[in-house]
Chain A
């Protein structure tokens, strides 16, 4: 699969640093699952984190810290569950694993609610101010017009949409902020399903009020 609109370095760097909201973490983890080149860039930013850790000063430890850790290690049975972390393998699922985990299932398990004009959405619970949701746009239809109270990131999971001259297909990411005027239209042939995250942690425009997501949250 060729990703022509990959996720940006700023999001990957912030993910590597651990500075994103839950909703944006979900976006990056999902996008990286679909884009091996982004995975490589992410591992580069994580290596930067490792280099900074290597270079950092040292902090004095609590007395007996090593002994405390060893007694915790020896006091519990080896945790075999870690083995389930090992490469479980990609399946035929439409939704990458981070999304399946967040939703508790694949596409067939999603409980959609209608937001009008045939468009459906499913809100994905997150524990902070960001919002994450799946949107399902009928083939050939324009996405509802909406404003952005912050940054909106859209990742295509199924089908494709066009916005102006550009086409976004599975794995592609479109970024939009308050100033972006965009008019995405789903391609013919297949409903377009996207993960849409709106949030503020990268808010380069943090002074603007959160007009936000309200429209699509109807």
Chain B
């Protein structure tokens, strides 16, 4: 089977190969594609180019070391990289580990079903398209909520829009995206978490 390099499933396979076989060529392909994006993302969130480079290098070292923990049934490669970059940046700024939600208690999970992995890859693709197709005004505000290290009121000062308008536009954008990613969210529910399967936690 061959994949185009812009295919989400291609990157998923590459990252799985890094985790399972310490595949250096696969790691290099991920690096060449994603490292410049991770760096650009970090710059957009407010790091200097030099700090962003250092942070990106930390992120890529973490990618190598933690690749075996990547679960293609739960996140796309881009999402996984995004969370590592976000956490690393916060850890650098705070010099402390950021609180993360407790891991789910199901113990070692079986190999993800190939169908689930493919479905998640397709949904991620759909979500990326949905983000790309947001009307410019909504997209702009969602990006600011993500990339701008700013509060909503600071965005208000920046755009001259009243706060209520900003909040409703972001809400609108979230609704549209939620619609687009309903499938994706369903796939993100770990096995055993379907409604009605009560999870006892005490």
Contact = CB atoms under 8 A, between A and B. Distances in A.
Interface of A: 1, 9, 13-14, 16-19, 22, 25-26, 28-30, 32-34, 36, 39-44, 46-62, 65-66, 68-70, 72-73, 78-79, 82, 85-90, 92, 94, 96-98, 101-102, 127, 170, 200-206
B146 A33 contact: no
15 contacts: A1-B199, A29-B99, A30-B99, A47-B188, A49-B82, A50-B76, A50-B79, A50-B80, A50-B124, A51-B124, A52-B143, A53-B37, A59-B40, A87-B108, A127-B96
Chain B residues touching A, majority SS: helix
A8 B132 CA distance: 25
Contacts of B40: 56-59
B137 interface: no
Interface residues of B, number: 88
Interface of B: 24, 28, 31-32, 34-41, 43-45, 49, 52-53, 56-57, 60-61, 64-66, 69, 74-83, 85-87, 89-90, 94, 96-108, 124, 127-128, 130-132, 142-143, 145-147, 149-153, 163, 167, 170, 174, 177-178, 181, 184-185, 188-189, 193, 198-202
A154 to B, nearest CB: 17
B101 A33 contact: yes
Given A44-B185, A58-B36, A65-B57, A202 B152 contact: yes
A87 B96 contact: no
Nearest to B83: A46
Contacts of B108: 86-87
Nearest to B95: A127
A102 B99 contact: yes
